[in-house]
Structure 1
Amino acid sequence: MGHRYLLLILPEREENEELVQHFATKTPLPLSWRHGRIQLFSDHLSDVLPLPQGNGVIIGKLFRRHGYPEQVCQLKSDDAARFVPHPSQGLIDHYWGSYVAAFSDPDRVTILREPSGGMPCYYLSSRGVVAFTSDISLLIDAGLLTASVNWNAVGRTLYWHQLPPEETAIAGVSQLLGGCSLILEGSGIRRAENWSPWDYIASDRDNDPERRSEGLKNVIQTSISAWASCFPRALVGLSGGLDSSIVAICLANSSAKVTCLTLATDDPVGDERSYAGQVSRAIDAELIEGFYADDDIDLDQSVAAGFPIPSGKTHEHTYNKKVRAAAETSEADAFFVGAGGDNVFYLTHSVRPLLDRLRVEGWSSDLIRTARDICRITGANIWEVIWEAARISVRKVPGLPWKGAGDYLSREFVESERCRSPEHPWLRPDDTVPLGKKGHVAMILRALHHIEHRDKALAAPMISPLLSQPVIEFCLAIPSWWACEGGTDRAVARRAFADALPAPVLSRSGKGSPDGFVARFIARHRVAIAERLLEGNLARHGLLDRAAVESVLAPNARFELLDCPRVMALLDTEAWTKSWSAR
């Protein structure tokens, strides 16, 4: 379990001491820091960093952008200048990590969440108190929240699939998005955007591919070494794919004690043990092997239970159970994953890199080389690639479009959502942003949403180091066509670690998946799954397309592997609604 905190901004009045004592008796956390109207309760005192000026506090893990890669355990007087005159921007510009920060000025209070969103931050306003927390059960304990499900928000979470929402599915509770701050001034509250991915697209960095790869390697190694300074005993979820292998190798290079965990299914597509074994032997780390198992999965228990956003899939129970056991056996301080690597390294099968290169460099023989690279990755021929590029180039779509996912949702709900625009500050790029970079940012958004829910029963925190702020910023500045150079996906990252990865892992183009296991699980439990969905809360509140659900889960129906994640997401969301409705 990660850092738990409750941050309270009390009303603007002098008689607040009685209110402080009231909350101190209600929350299980100790009072860790206070300044004026700000009161912080936290269970990790070592991760509470007061600002040198005394008017602010940082909650979580903090690292300096420059210097030795280790956790900042104390902010000293020479740090003070970096927070003047704008502490939020100074923090983002000179530091990175996984944190939420609070700053107090004479006329306002500012709460900032760092760009990668590693530290959860949910908030509400109740009876003059504005409360921020990593765990909304603390809001309930404090008497600030009586939890009830916001059914329209549940549907929007399913429809605007993988888009991090500001509105949660618990009525009255919002999420402070990564890179944003909330400013409390007088009786008003407003949001500000302090970090935007679009600011890192245009760059004057070195345009030499070899030097850029070396730069990426250094950024990743430095970031992971910084994380290892906090967690010297690391459990790594190792598939043997490129991303998790990079994480494992960089942790080993940082002198962390590394234990690896890989899970397999009983079909070849889901069995990556041979690749994981090569990586674990290369770094001399123990490899724990496990198998996905039906018996680990509880249809009535949500993997996102306790979170205010339903964002899990029921089959993840078996993965989570194996991770908990391995973490206990290895005495791990943290569980590291390669999640987000496909996204930050821009694993794409689109023709957008070709259009980006045309836009930046104009017509040249290099365009043909990029077109052929795309052919090798996608299996399309050159004419198909050119035709697709021509088709996309004439479409003038403003902003960053986000496609809704109406599968198995009721027609009435889908029609109502189509009239709405998805909401997120990153969906409004300038019209000059290349198409490939729009796709790149969309992929990063999906990764950030994926890591938002974590297994609450896991004693160790889960770390996604490839989504660290310096890594994201560096990758955004890499031209999109470099990601497919040579006809291989994530080409810059592959080149960066070419001398460190086992050759079969480096050249591996396919990806393993538990989809076969999930499909067989659904087939074996069709009746039970159908019963829960067709007679459950989602159907009762008009969110499900009952006919579509009945059809896909009929006894002899055939369904595609692509249907499996959606069915599991619906099932987990149903369990999530019941967990909150029963309170």
Structure 2
Amino acid sequence: MGRFLLAIGAPPDRASDMWKRFEESGAMRLAVELEGVQLWSSVDLPLSIEPGGSRMILGQVRSRSLGDDDHPSGILPQHEQWPSWPKLIEAFWGPWLGIEYKHRSLRLELVRSADIEMPCYYALAAGGIYAASDADLLVAAGACTGEIDRAALASALVYPAHRPSSTVLAGITELEPGRRLEWTPGRLRGHALWNPWDFALPPAQIHDLQIAAETVRDAVLIAVRGCSAGQRVILGMSGGLDSSIVAAALRATGAQWSGVTTVSAEPAGDERYYARCVAEHLQVQLAEVPDNIERIDLRQCHAAHLPRPNSRSFSQSADKSMLEIAAASGAKAYLHGGGGDNVFAMLDSVRPVLDRALDTSGWAASQTVCDIARMTGRSVVDVALRAGRLALRHGRDAPRIGNSAFLSQSVLETAEFPHHPWLDTPPGARPGKVLHVNWLIGIQNFLEGHAGQGDLPYRAPLMAQPVIEACLRVPTWMWCTGGRNRAVARLAFEAMLPAQIMTRSAKGTPTSFLYDILEAKRDEAREMLLEGNLASLGCLDRDKVEAALGAVQRLMSGDVLALMRLIDTESWIRARIARQRD
């Protein structure tokens, strides 16, 4: 999506300064100017204004229909009165931000859709409020300094798969998906208009396997159609189930598209066989590009404009290739299967056994024990004992999974667990669904910070609102039916994809490429970690870092991932410091 900055109650001198800065850059337009209100946006970001009303929408409002009479372009008809914000979220979907400002009462409402593609951050300053698509714009507007919050940084290091509304930059807060923010001078409050638990609690669950598969399939088709309508797109095809499902949906909805797969030197990262199977089956062009270490710059951060260190240096090679292929083919967006494991409940847990016992009976739960044993390779006795121990502990809350690798003891002791409103478990919630909802939080950090996102929209249709809602309505035990992970998604698309994909249970991994990066750029990594900001702040266990960098090939894959994450965090910190100087 494009960029935007909303300023309410900005002092005249600051408003004038913003005007000059954005006008000179040519990157932003003054879309709306009222007394005390300025809305700047990039030209590629649609703006709709309610006829005769005080509401505006930035972004795309997409239809939930698969019929030919909907509006895939995503812009609301200008002659119709809009529904209320809750009804808009319920009846439509898409990446949009609702804005309503009532001048007489000095009251602002910001409503973020339930779609993760439309970011919104806000800051309070000088008696006013500022909202923007990224941290850079809030800092440029003078709403905050962009200084790093050390306590929040410690939390992000220990809990990288969590995403609280507070960010790692002081004074910047995220408006989370599906929430409304109400502001008047001196008062700020927010509440949810959309909650995943509305679809994850027992009354909303679908207990018929065929109906569940049809529901998931329709939701994926709607999401993929909305993400690709009216434009040519490219799809990252890993050869795995998730991206293959997106490919099948693109073909089924008549999209203009082509595929691309990246190839690493090791067999674990070479998915060409499976990607080719899908491409041949769907009769679509497939580009194959090798991972190239020379295209990796550990010091370059593509998440510097974000208020969290969610950079992905190891994906720079693939991201740059995507941009080149998109430019050559005329593609206007890049789609991928990110988030599929999360929405399709690939939980690697015995919690579905407890869910089925609560949903049906203990006898039926024994079938889920067998399914999980077959799916994971564990014995039936082991799975049953694990489920029994969890039941005795009344294990319902999501586990607080943290990362301790290479971090100092002081960081581990001071890092606070980041709260998220989706973790507020309502009565009646099933243990497996708690984990399912928790998985939808963590993946959001891994879907941003890519090299090409400033020039080419990166879209994860499997994380779109209709897909999330449909998948949450499927009980966790149904997802492992027959001992197959993501079983409902497999059933939903088995008629559209080749057997090689439907029967595949293993997953490819880019981990071998990460080993190669660390080996080739060992000196650079050592300088960044042992002489950088994380070290000077006392965040790292220097001895462990130095020992690991001296024996990269002997490291476990989790340690390699942890080192790369620390390097990316150091790169982000350096980029933020450089921006403050500028």
Q: CA deviation at 1:65?
A: 3.2
- Indicate the residue corresponding to 2:74 in structure 1: 72
Q: Alignment partner of 2:504: what SS? A: coil
- Indicate the residue corresponding to 2:521 in structure 1: 525
Q: Say if 1:333 and 1:461, in contact at 8 Å, map to a contact too.
A: yes
Q: Say if 2:154 and 2:414, in contact at 8 Å, map to a contact too.
A: no
2:220 partner amino acid: I
Q: CA deviation at 1:100?
A: 1.5
Alignment CA distance shift 1:250-1:496 (3 Å):
same
- Indicate the residue corresponding to 2:114 in structure 1: 115
Q: Say if 2:311 and 2:572, in contact at 8 Å, map to a contact too.
A: no
Q: Say if 1:233 and 1:332, in contact at 8 Å, map to a contact too.
A: yes
Q: CA deviation at 1:17?
A: 7.2
Q: Say if 2:217 and 2:489, in contact at 8 Å, map to a contact too.
A: yes
- Indicate the residue corresponding to 2:433 in structure 1: 437
Q: Alignment partner of 1:389: what SS? A: helix
Q: CA deviation at 1:551?
A: 2.2
Q: Which moved more, 1:421-430 or 1:383-392?
A: 421-430
Alignment of 1:359-374 (within 5 A): 359-364=358-363, 366-374=364-372
Alignment CA distance shift 1:35-1:466 (3 Å):
farther
Alignment of 1:401-420 (within 5 A): 401-417=399-415, 420=416
Q: CA deviation at 1:206?
A: 4.9
Q: Say if 1:35 and 1:56, in contact at 8 Å, map to a contact too.
A: no
Q: CA deviation at 1:130?
A: 1.2
Q: Alignment partner of 1:41: what SS? A: strand
Q: CA deviation at 1:446?
A: 1.5
Q: Distance in 2 between matches of 1:321 and 1:580?
A: 23
Alignment CA distance shift 1:402-1:116 (3 Å):
farther
- Indicate the residue corresponding to 2:87 in structure 1: 90
1:172 has 2:174 as partner: no
1:566 maps to which of 558, 562, 569:
562
Q: CA deviation at 1:372?
A: 1.1
Alignment of 1:155-170 (within 5 A): 155-170=154-169
Q: Alignment partner of 1:380: what SS? A: coil
Q: CA deviation at 1:272?
A: 0.4
Alignment CA distance shift 1:103-1:260 (3 Å):
same
Alignment CA distance shift 1:555-1:565 (3 Å):
closer
Q: Distance in 1 between matches of 2:49 and 2:559?
A: 49
- Indicate the residue corresponding to 1:218 in structure 2: 218
Q: Distance in 1 between matches of 2:206 and 2:474?
A: 10
- Indicate the residue corresponding to 2:348 in structure 1: 349
- Indicate the residue corresponding to 2:197 in structure 1: 198
2:473 maps to which of 469, 473, 477:
477
Alignment of 1:498-577 (within 5 A): 498-555=494-551, 558-577=554-573
- Indicate the residue corresponding to 1:327 in structure 2: 326
Q: Alignment partner of 2:544: what SS? A: helix
- Indicate the residue corresponding to 1:302 in structure 2: 301
- Indicate the residue corresponding to 1:273 in structure 2: 272
Q: Distance in 2 between matches of 1:45 and 1:339?
A: 24
Q: Distance in 2 between matches of 1:550 and 1:270?
A: 27
1:571 partner amino acid: I
Alignment CA distance shift 1:514-1:204 (3 Å):
closer
Q: Which moved more, 1:91-100 or 1:483-492?
A: 91-100
Alignment CA distance shift 1:458-1:17 (3 Å):
closer
2:99 maps to which of 91, 99, 102:
102
Q: Alignment partner of 1:63: what SS? A: coil
1:490 has 2:482 as partner: no
Alignment CA distance shift 1:557-1:462 (3 Å):
closer
Q: Say if 1:399 and 1:431, in contact at 8 Å, map to a contact too.
A: no
Q: Distance in 1 between matches of 2:315 and 2:190?
A: 34
Q: CA deviation at 1:149?
A: 2.3
Q: Distance in 2 between matches of 1:5 and 1:147?
A: 17
2:345 partner amino acid: Y
Alignment of 1:392-403 (within 5 A): 392-397=390-395, 399-403=397-401
Q: CA deviation at 1:431?
A: 4.2
Aligned length: 569
Deviations 1:114-139 (A, max 9, x none): 22321111221222231111133223
Q: Which moved more, 1:115-124 or 1:331-340?
A: 115-124
- Structure 2: 5+ residue runs without aligned partners? none
Q: Say if 1:398 and 1:431, in contact at 8 Å, map to a contact too.
A: no
Q: Say if 2:127 and 2:185, in contact at 8 Å, map to a contact too.
A: no
- Indicate the residue corresponding to 2:281 in structure 1: 282
Q: Say if 1:26 and 1:143, in contact at 8 Å, map to a contact too.
A: no
Q: Distance in 1 between matches of 2:551 and 2:372?
A: 41
Q: Say if 1:114 and 1:178, in contact at 8 Å, map to a contact too.
A: yes
Deviations 1:1-48 (A, max 9, x none): x3111111226xxxx777655432232411112455442111136611
TM-score (norm 1): 0.93
- Indicate the residue corresponding to 2:129 in structure 1: 130
Q: Say if 1:402 and 1:422, in contact at 8 Å, map to a contact too.
A: no
Q: Say if 1:349 and 1:377, in contact at 8 Å, map to a contact too.
A: no
Q: Alignment partner of 2:557: what SS? A: coil
Q: Alignment partner of 2:110: what SS? A: strand
Q: Distance in 1 between matches of 2:156 and 2:174?
A: 13
Q: Distance in 1 between matches of 2:7 and 2:217?
A: 40
Q: Distance in 2 between matches of 1:313 and 1:149?
A: 19
Deviations 1:270-322 (A, max 9, x none): 10011111111222221111111111111211232222210123212222222
Q: Alignment partner of 2:456: what SS? A: coil
Q: Distance in 2 between matches of 1:281 and 1:556?
A: 38
1:378 partner amino acid: T
Q: Say if 1:69 and 1:229, in contact at 8 Å, map to a contact too.
A: no
2:380 maps to which of 379, 382, 387:
382
Q: Distance in 1 between matches of 2:204 and 2:213?
A: 15
Q: Distance in 1 between matches of 2:454 and 2:263?
A: 20
Q: Alignment partner of 1:358: what SS? A: helix
Q: Distance in 1 between matches of 2:242 and 2:206?
A: 24
Q: Distance in 2 between matches of 1:65 and 1:289?
A: 34
Q: Percent identity?
A: 32
Deviations 1:301-350 (A, max 9, x none): 12322222101232122222222222112211100011011110111221
Q: Distance in 2 between matches of 1:238 and 1:56?
A: 40
Q: CA deviation at 1:520?
A: 2.8
1:317 has 2:316 as partner: yes
Q: Which moved more, 1:39-48 or 1:505-514?
A: 39-48
Q: Alignment partner of 1:131: what SS? A: strand
What is the CA RMSD across the aligned residues, in angstroms? 2.1
